[in-house]
Chains A and B, each alone.
Chain A
């Protein structure tokens, strides 16, 4: 819902953008830009999602319940939250999963990237580039493209179904392993769908090559995981613009969360400056580790590291789509050829019923970090001797991006003032916020909430 409050003349000195309930994002957020006499008075991305208190909910609950509960933080990144939670739980409990389990987790994480990225690329962002309000009018005008987008979405969602029972709130991925092996028929069908997706991928690259993204440059600090072995998603060390390599367990030394007066929101900073996480950060730090087809896709789309245009995060997502699809196909071929060893994969979701209450745990704190579609996600739990959680912390990508988005907005508004109409500026701001793919349900558990 967009309210405009001044004339839309090109030379307006007063511009007021007030986007109440930004659409085509996950969760509820407002954009407020206020320009008085040509001077930027206010520029905020306000989170108005109702608070949900996940960190409070976790306290007093069993560590064995953490994955099930924290998956419910977000319907889009449920697999990412599950994996960060499982890693934190295993870290606290001193459990090491087998290589086969790690491989299956990487496959699930790839499927989450595929699922979330394609939703963002086609359903949330493409309408802006095509000048429509949503994918709905495209059903009438460009049905084959919509069908293709839904087919790609369906493939990645089906991957979640085969691997974990369902993509939204996965069932079988738990601390230590899986509660059930993926079925052979399911894996075979999924492999076929993945191969078929290559054609849709090529078609999508052709479409996006032709679309024009807004021009805007602002170099910033790009943080992500990094690894010598692969394009880091499931594991690695933290890195900022290729430097400051930091072990995940010291994440609190790398960035800090500060209260910023103008927005009354906690904003994460590195060296007192905002930073970005997500596909573009990963691409900037690790593009040399991408699959060769993804590198070719980046070249075709004209994306080069380091890229300083935040609007191109969507393009980086498309490059990652190619990477994750190809890596998934490689893992699938390995699984279909060698099979899965039940003994190395299967586990129960909880300790045996006869052991509950009898096992004593070593009080400990565990940290888990994975790259989820929107960036680095951290879960941290402290457990007591009964295995119950006494303290918890979740650091969400959208929270980390919030300060960087606002800094982009503050630089972008003066650049377009006087050149664009209020409606155009509003759309620029909306598109900028959307390019970060904000996930507001996730972010609200620790943001201060300002009601407007």
Chain B
């Protein structure tokens, strides 16, 4: 029987910390299994070979320069499937915080009188520039979900990102609610799929997977205000990862 040729896979990083790509290196033996199913032809962080012939492109990082825009468009022309990998690619991630203050101010704060030499544009998630076929949310990505998505890609099936709150998974993990412990948490409005990772380890949800489609943010705002947190603080909670969508949340919250 003739063997099917393995799909060629490439990894590209834009503006980010490269932690989500590293999650692949952390898959251990699962990574070796993966290399039996696909041909990794381009993965600059760990290899020098730079294949330009690929069908599947994992995109890590957000779009923050004019050059990024050109580069992602070229990749879109070649790739049959584009997968946004991690918070920076799917929702803008922490890079989006810079959208909140004027770009000139951010440039000056970091680069001083050399600010003019820095090229930067508004932070955008990948799908704001090109069509994206699969989304793997999270900062960093959650390996079990990565494996689920890769299976879907290989089978040519869509992957539906959960559209319910982290609270659902958190309850199933029998964690004590952060609000019960006199803490606050973005779990009630954040998209699930991470198995309530941060809360399982005693921290709280920071909203790295983005908000669910209908986050009932007004209700969340009421809760936070009830406990004496300022509106600016709330905005910061909502916008640590989601500032590329900040205007929408500003509007929802300031109603």
Contact = CB atoms under 8 A, between A and B. Distances in A.
Contacts of B201: 164-165, 171-172, 179-180
Contacts of A418: none
B203 A354 contact: no
Interface string A1-13: 1000000000000
B47 A55 contact: no
Given A52-B15, A449-B118, 7 more contacts: A23-B47, A26-B18, A53-B120, A55-B110, A133-B47, A135-B46, A168-B26
Interface of A: 1, 21, 23-28, 49-57, 59-62, 65, 68-69, 72-76, 78, 119, 123-124, 127, 133-136, 139, 146-147, 150-151, 153-154, 157, 164-169, 171-172, 174, 178-180, 259, 264, 346, 348-350, 352-354, 356-358, 441, 445-446, 448-451
Interface centre among A74, A119, A124, A169 (most CB of B within 10 A): A169
A168 B22 contact: yes
Contacts of B109: 53, 55-56, 59
Contacts of B117: 264, 448-450
B204 interface: yes
B25 interface: yes
Closest 3 CB pairs of A and B: A75-B19, A134-B47, A179-B202
A28 B21 CA distance: 14
Nearest to A392: B109
B40 to A, nearest CB: 7
Nearest to B44: A23
B181 to A, nearest CB: 8
A136 B48 CA distance: 10
Q: Is the interface of A mostly helix, strand, loop or mixed?
A: loop
B32 A178 contact: no
Contacts of A74: 17-19
B22 A178 contact: no
B31 interface: yes
Given A72-B17, A171-B203, A354-B227, A134 B48 contact: yes
5 contacts: A21-B44, A50-B15, A53-B98, A75-B140, A172-B203
B29 interface: yes
Contacts of A55: 109-110
B183 A69 contact: no
B184 interface: yes
A357 B232 CA distance: 12
Contacts of A154: 26, 28-29
Contacts of B229: 353, 356-357
A350 B118 CA distance: 35
A1 B203 contact: no
B17 A150 contact: no
B72 interface: no
B20 to A, nearest CB: 7
Nearest to B47: A134
Nearest to B87: A72
Contact of B110 (A53, A147, A358): A53
B45 A24 contact: yes
